[in-house]
Amino acid sequence: MNKVIRRVVGEMAEEFLEYLKEKETQYQERWVPSVRIEKDLDLHLFRVPKSWFLRRLTRMLEASGEIEHFNDGTTAYFRTVG
């Protein structure tokens, strides 16, 4: 079961990475705001704190060195590395 869950979460992270690569061409210095990401991907899940799912995916991708982020006040921005 654990292998299946890890595989599915990994696949979701890869899908998110592809989305981010496409979106970042529309923003200055490629920084995509988290508000846009959550709206586009409809990540406000039932009974899950706001932004929880996005934070899990982005932390996973940051840990593997595939994306980076910065915060500007209450808004986080993300882009791919490279």
What digits encode the pLDDT tens for the residues 2-46? Answer: 899 889 989 999 999 999 999 999 998 999 999 999 889 887 777
> Which structural domain range is residue 48 located in?
2-80
Burial class of residue 82, CB neighbours in 10 A (0-12, 13-18, 19+): exposed
Its pTM stands at 0.81
Instruction: Judge whether 67 and 58 are in contact, CB under 8 Å.
Output: yes
Task: For residue 42, give the CATH number of its domain.
Answer: 1.10.10
pLDDT, tens digit, for every residue of 34-81?
999 988 988 777 777 878 888 989 999 999 999 999 999 989 999 999
Number of domains comprising the chain? 1
pLDDT band, very low/low/confident/very high, at 82 (cuts 50, 70, 90): confident
